[in-house]
Structure formats: C-alpha cells, structure tokens
Structure 1
C-alpha cells in the first residue's frame, strides 16, 4: 500500500490510529524517599486499531518497542518494556529494579514515560511492517520525594513508651 504521494506507507501515515498514552505509576504511591529507589511502571501492550486510510479499510497493530522513562530531575532511562511492580517482581519496596530511579534531593518531580511503538498494517492480505517508530508521550505524574532520618535507640516503643520517637 502506498500513500497519496505514491510512496510506501510510513509511520506518519498511520499515526492517526495511535494508541492512547500510557499512565506511569510510581511506587510506592507516587511518594519516595531521597536516596532510596522509587519504582516506575508503564503498562504497555500491543494494540490494534481499525479504520479507513486512503479510502481503504485498514487494521494497524502497534507493538511497544521500548519505553523512555523521564524522571523529571534531568535523568532518564530506556527500557525494553514498561517495568513491573515490586510485588510482581517479588521484591521488597525501595529496592532497585530495571526501571527504578533514586532521587538525590527532596522535591516534586514531573515524571512520565514515552512509549515508542513499531507498526504493522493489514489491508486484507496479511501483516506487513511500516518503517519507523511512533513515540507517544504519557501523562505527567508529579512525584513527591521526602527526606527521612533514622536514629538508633536502646529500646523499642513497645518496650518503653517514652523512648525517643515513640
């Protein structure tokens, strides 16, 4: 299939069928501690859309190729997938994951994920690839990062109700 100019279809030609932007989840609950990892997850899946292009019925399948996590503090990371929650990974909270990020200072940071999709089209004779990638920016999530201090004490609050920090 060719576009109006007689050239093969490009990713720009099928962009009108683009998947919806993903929402990025930041564990735990969008709140982190400076110096400890926060885990970021963007639920990505292959998506199929149908419609009409150049007067012909078409089906477009978008497959996530990679995810760019933008953490809002000048740092970013690219992953081959959208990451997984700590629970799914069987990990404790505040442990590093392939999509986690450690903020150095407290503050509020605008984090989001950009999913880069490849596309295939079917006009009735089977799937064929469309050159290029389509980048879809996810919505920005404000993550709050706090500072935490710890102190060693001689007794727990159960042992001594008047202990420091109880």
Structure 2
C-alpha cells in the first residue's frame, strides 16, 4: 500500500512579533499542530498530511458524486490538521515565558522570650529591714549640748520569688541618712554607738550626734542605703546601685538645762537649788 505525502508551505506576512513573544526565541512560536517559524517580518506555516490510496478525503477530491463510504466517493471527515493549521496560521499563538512563582518567605521561628533582668529596685518587694534612731540615753537630750543618735542595721538576707524564679537576696547597709526633726540632716557611714561603747563622756560630740538649739519634741528618722546581691542557686551576683529604705519615726524629747553654783551636789544635798 502506498502512502501519499502532501506538503504545503504557506507564507503569511505579519507585523514583527518579536516584541509580543517575550520569553520566546524567533522560530519558537507554535500554532495548532503545525510548524510555524517567525523571522521577524513574516511567518511561515508548514504542515504535512498523509493519505492512503482508496481512502479519499473531502480535502483531496473535489468529486461529490457517489455514496458516502464507497470507493471513489469522498467521505467528510471534517477539517484536516493542515486545514485547521491553515485557518489558524494568521492568528499564530505567541508563547509566553511562565511567571516565576515566588514562594512566601517562611516565617522566622519564634524566639524564646528573653529572661527578665533583675535590678536592685526589684528587691523592694522582699522588704529589706528598716531602722529606727535612738537618742542616747533614753531618747532625751539637752538643748545646746550634743545628743548622740544610734541605730541598728546589719547585713541580712531575704528569700522570695521574682519573675517566677525563687531567689535569695543579701542586703548590706552602706549609708545612713539621719533626719533630726528640726530641718537638719546628716549622712554617715556608721549607724552610731553609745557613749559607753565609744568610751566617751556623755554630751560629747560623736559621728552621729546633733545639737538642738531649742527644747521640744522632735520626730526623727533614719534612712538606710543598702547594696544587694542575689543568689539564684549558682552563687552570689552583685547588683548595681543602692536601695534606699526609709525607717519609721522616733520621737525624742529635748530639755533645757540651767546651771547653778552650789556647795553640794544633788546627791549630797537633794534640797539644794536646782535639785
């Protein structure tokens, strides 16, 4: 059986399609099932159709007589591939470069929350010890003479929880602000000591003493300045700065004293003037 090979070349002049075929090289335009080449000024469409003897097609035999399906009678099989190509050649499809799909950036992994930073002011919630001033002796003094002040403060620890973590804090007193109640204040590095402890006579100046000019009752206070360290289970860690802890009020009584020249003391002569 012989095969009849028919070739057809159609040249169609079209405007330059290079700009429309972005992403395709010249000659890479494809239409239908036929070959299409583009040299920039015209498009050449080629196609091939095969037919065996005895199998006529309406596109190859102009005869319209006879009974369809019999020898020598054309059978309408619809438009051939070449005819579809010829009909579509003037509308050559332009291949386009596929868009590159941009994948969304993966979200950054959630970072663990930063551990809280403990500052010395956070330790106020652990209630460091306060202090109360005392006038030596028995919270009384003499106007015009030094009144000696003493307070009690020492290194101590507190245990508690901060930001959900258990810890121990150690407080060390490093400064004392005495407020004497008459508008006068003094900052010292010592809590003071009694005259007896210091080995001094009464009504003599000390590092914490104050002299009142008038008699009366005065509200005195002392504020403690602490440095602090914390232990989270791995050893002591010093914190920067100092913590200021004011103390409660202590009233003291200041009297006037008058001197008189007498022959005997009040012990020797209780009825003497001024006794």
TM over 0.5: yes
Deviation at 1:18, TM superposition (A): 2.6
Alpha carbons of structure 1 residues 5 and 115: separation in structure 2 relative to 1, 3 Å: farther
The answer as to whether partners of 1:44 and 1:81 remain within 8 angstroms in 2 is no
Matched with 2:264 is 156
**Cα RMSD over matched residues?**
2.1
CA drift at 1:163: 5.0
Give per-residue Cα distances to partners, 1:79-131, cap 9 Å, x unaligned: 11211111111112111110000001111111110001111101011111112
Q: Is the 8 A contact 2:116 2:163 kept in 1?
A: no
TM-score (norm 1): 0.88
Following TM superposition, by how much is the alpha carbon of 1:161 offset from its aligned partner in structure 2, in angstroms? Answer: 7.6
1:20, distance to aligned residue in structure 2 (A): 2.5
Contact 1:64 1:81 in 2 (8 A): no
- 2:159 maps to 1:50: yes
- TM-score scaled by length of structure 2: 0.55
* Structure showing the higher strand proportion among its residues: 1
Q: Distance in 2 between matches of 1:46 and 1:160?
A: 49
1:54-87 CA-partner distances (Å, limit 9, x unpaired) = 2211010010010001001111111112111111
Residue 94 of structure 2: aligned partner: none
1:65-84 counterparts in 2 under 5 A? 65-84=174-193
Pairing 1:101-140 to 2, within 5 Å after superposition: 101-140=210-249
1:32 to 112, 132, 141: 141
CA distance in 1 between counterparts of 2:271 and 2:178 reads 45
Distance 1:8 1:147, change over 3 A: same
Structure 1 unmatched runs, 5+ = none
- Does the 8 Å CA contact 2:155/2:172 hold for their aligned counterparts? yes
Question: Where does residue 19 of structure 1 map in the other structure?
Answer: 128
Number of residue pairs aligned between Structure 1 and Structure 2:
162
In the superposition, relative to structure 1, how do residues 99 and 165 fare at CA in structure 2: closer, same or farther (>3 Å)? closer
- Report the more deviating stretch, 45-54 or 7-16: 7-16
Kindly name which structure, 1 or 2, has the bigger radius of gyration based on alpha carbons. Answer: 2
Residues 1:162 and 1:40: Cα distance change in structure 2 (over 3 Å) = closer
The answer to which structure, 1 or 2, has the higher relative contact order (CA under 8 A, 6+ apart) is 1
Residue 201 (structure 2) pairs with residue 96 (structure 1): no
